[in-house]
């Protein structure tokens, strides 16, 4: 019996560093199969729709009405929202933080009983189907897996005063990407525990692998992709417009 796999695409943030809702921006002059302009969120969604192993995709959307579910639906290729389309796309209102938004999506997915879930940043439009499959394969084997991109510079750890504390080995350190894959019941339980710690201590988690690592155990790393860029700063939007297909790589 094959595993039921779902995905979450996070798009509930305010894009405060950029000042515009980056997930709804256009990817250069690219269009979808219906001839409509292709958005950042739409391009990311198409990569997951191309994976036949994924049954359901939940997109987290802002609480602000004019950039909420209606705007998110409007930014997706129309064929993804057809009743018989697979995967089935759902929407959920996010929370005040990325972690809480993912928690909302996991809670919605609980009613669909997935075995595994991938969690992806909606601001990474250049994710490749091959990377999605690589993460799925590793998740099925190890229960938790993330793509990791090797560093090209030598990392240093500093102390509170700004002095170098440790000279880290570059081959043992990397930049985490998404999608990150997890066994579903366990990542939901981990997020519930993370929410309790946040409430009690004011703690903040930067990604889902950190949540899993604290409450569930080890995370396996697969090779990431240099094409899988994340749009974070205004200059990233310039790259987006200029190099719609490949993120400037």
Question: CA 163, 168, 173, 174 torsion: positive or negative?
Answer: positive
- Average pLDDT for 145-159: 94
pLDDT category at 211 given cuts 50, 70, 90 is very high
Domain ranges of the chain: 5-242
pLDDT category at 246 given cuts 50, 70, 90 is low
Statement: residue 20 has pLDDT above 80: no
Q: How far lies 36's CA from each of 31, 40, 81, 88, 166, in Å? A: 5, 13, 14, 21, 51
The highest-confidence range among 10-14, 120-124, 238-242, by mean pLDDT, is: 120-124
pLDDT category at 200 given cuts 50, 70, 90 is very high
**Structure-block tokens of residue 210:** 């950190």
- Average pLDDT for 99-118: 98
5-242: CATH homologous superfamily?
Spore Coat Polysaccharide Biosynthesis Protein SpsA; Chain A (3.90.550.10)
Helix (H, G, I), strand (E, B) or coil at 47: helix
Query: Could you tell me what percent of the chain has a pLDDT over 90?
Result: 76
- Supply the pLDDT for residue 179: 98
- Average pLDDT for 52-63: 96
């Amino acid at each position: 019996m094959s595993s039921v796999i779902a995905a979450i695409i996070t798009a509930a943030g305010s894009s405060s560093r950029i000042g515009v809702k980056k997930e709804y921006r256009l990817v250069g002059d690219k269009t979808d199969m219906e001839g409509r302009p292709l958005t950042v969120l739409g391009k990311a969604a198409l990569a997951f729709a191309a994976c036949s192993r994924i049954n359901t995709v939940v997109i987290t959307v802002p609480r602000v009405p004019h950039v909420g579910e209606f705007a998110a639906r409007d930014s997706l290729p129309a064929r993804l929202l057809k009743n018989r389309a697979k995967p089935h796309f759902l929407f959920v209102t996010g929370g005040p933080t990325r972690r809480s938004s993912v928690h909302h999506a996991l809670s919605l997915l609980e009613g669909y009983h997935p075995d595994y879930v991938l969690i992806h940043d909606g601001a990474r439009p250049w994710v490749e189907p091959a990377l999605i499959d690589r993460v799925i394969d590793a998740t099925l084997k190890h229960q938790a897996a993330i793509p990791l991109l090797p560093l090209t510079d030598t990392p240093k750890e500093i102390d509170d005063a700004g002095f170098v504390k440790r000279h880290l080995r570059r081959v043992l350190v990397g930049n985490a990407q998404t999608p990150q894959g997890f066994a579903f019941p366990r990542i939901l339980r981990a997020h519930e525990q993370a929410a309790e710690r946040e409430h009690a201590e004011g703690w903040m988690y930067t990604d889902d692998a950190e949540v899993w690592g604290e409450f569930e155990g080890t995370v396996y790393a697969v090779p990431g992709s240099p094409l899988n860029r994340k749009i974070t700063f205004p200059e990233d939007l310039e790259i987006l417009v200029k190099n719609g297909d490949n993120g400037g790589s």
